[in-house]
Amino acid sequence: MALAMPMFNLAPDMRVSRLCLGTMTFGEQNTFSQSIQILDRAFDAGINFFDSAEMYPVPQRAETQGRSEEFFGRWIKERKIPRDNVIFATKVSGPSGQMSWIRNGPESLDAWNITEAIDNSLLRAKTDYIDLYQIHWPDRYVPMFGETEYDPLLNFSSVSFEEQISALSRAVDAGKIRYIGLSNETPYGIMKFLQVAESGTGYPRIVSVQNSYNLLCRTFDLAMAECCHNERVSLLAYSPLAMGILSGKYFSPDGGPDDARLNLFRGRYVEGESRYNLSKARIRQAAISYCEIADKYGIHPVSLAIGFVLRHPLVASAVFGATKIWQLEEVVGAITVELGPEILADINKVHWRLPNPCP
């Protein structure tokens, strides 16, 4: 793994590795000992960017909530890693109603909930500040996690954009967070947050949006790309392997390893299964077609998937997960892959035939 890890200037004084290790398996699929080993190997490979969330690990439950942040903080302390050598990103949960153990739902993203979430994340991670703090999903109705059409009848009263960004601004002023970002957002949400920030109030500007982007989900390019390009907002592309589907592991005769996430948590992980449903023919057909392209050009399916995401000019970093060292090494090895025009043409043929089966 002695590869030079490319970096990206996410903010004027914040350089992040083009691969970001997501920690949402830490504390559920991965014990602390296993998590430490994965973090060590990622850091040794040049990854300095680590993403978490107050609700992690997944599938979410009261008994494990917050362990991912806790494990990350314990790793820094036990390994005596200088705090400014890593970029720590985490998120506040949006309104859910399904996680009663997180502020009764959470009920909303009002100022109290945001402030409480920040303070609790700081305590769990045993750190004085968070480099990038993100709103995990909006405090309003938007179609997401497999939904594709906006239904005006589902709209509900939500906390104002100004109240949300005002709470984040106070945390920036207090030194608790350095920069702010969004996740699972739409062009409308991005523009409203930017509008409030640029209204002369001195509020911080968002620097990133963390949305799904991979060979099976290119919806970012439909409208978000124009918005982010013109407003200088970088994409943190999560699920670059489409929850492991693009590795090809689920297409073996036995259906893949028992401990693969979609097998291990079958029926328990609604957010993931609603989007990455292998019973849908279009998803299987598209994923198998991409694996066949990788085979045609003699590269690993993981390299094809990661290479495709990192070639996007608006992608600052690909946020991936790994439950085993060898999975981490496969992803790290993909940073050297460059996809030429012929392979991109083959990819686009599949995309035109089976567009965005995992929106």
Sequence-distant (≥ 6) Cβ neighbours of residue 224 within 8 angstroms: 185, 186, 187, 190, 209, 211, 235
Active-site annotation holder among 56, 133, 203, 238: 56
Radius of gyration of the chain (CA): 19
Q: Which of 7, 212, 183, 8 is nearest to 90 (CA)?
A: 183
Ordered alpha helix ranges (H), 80-223: 111-125, 161-173, 187-197
Helix (H, G, I), strand (E, B) or coil at 183: strand
CA distance 340 to 343: 6
- The answer to whether 56 is a known catalytic residue is yes
Handedness of CA 10, 16, 21, 24 (dihedral sign): negative
Question: Which residues is 7 bridged to in the sheet?
Answer: 17
Q: Are strands 206-212 and 234-238 parallel, antiparallel or unpaired?
A: parallel
In sequence order, what are the residues at sequence separation of 6 or more whose Cβ sits closer than 8 angstroms to the Cβ of residue 200?
A: none
Residue type, 215: L
* Beta-carbon contacts of residue 326 (< 8 Å; ≥ 6 apart): none
Strand partners, 211: 237
Q: What does DSSP assign to residue 190?
A: H
Catalytic center residues:
56
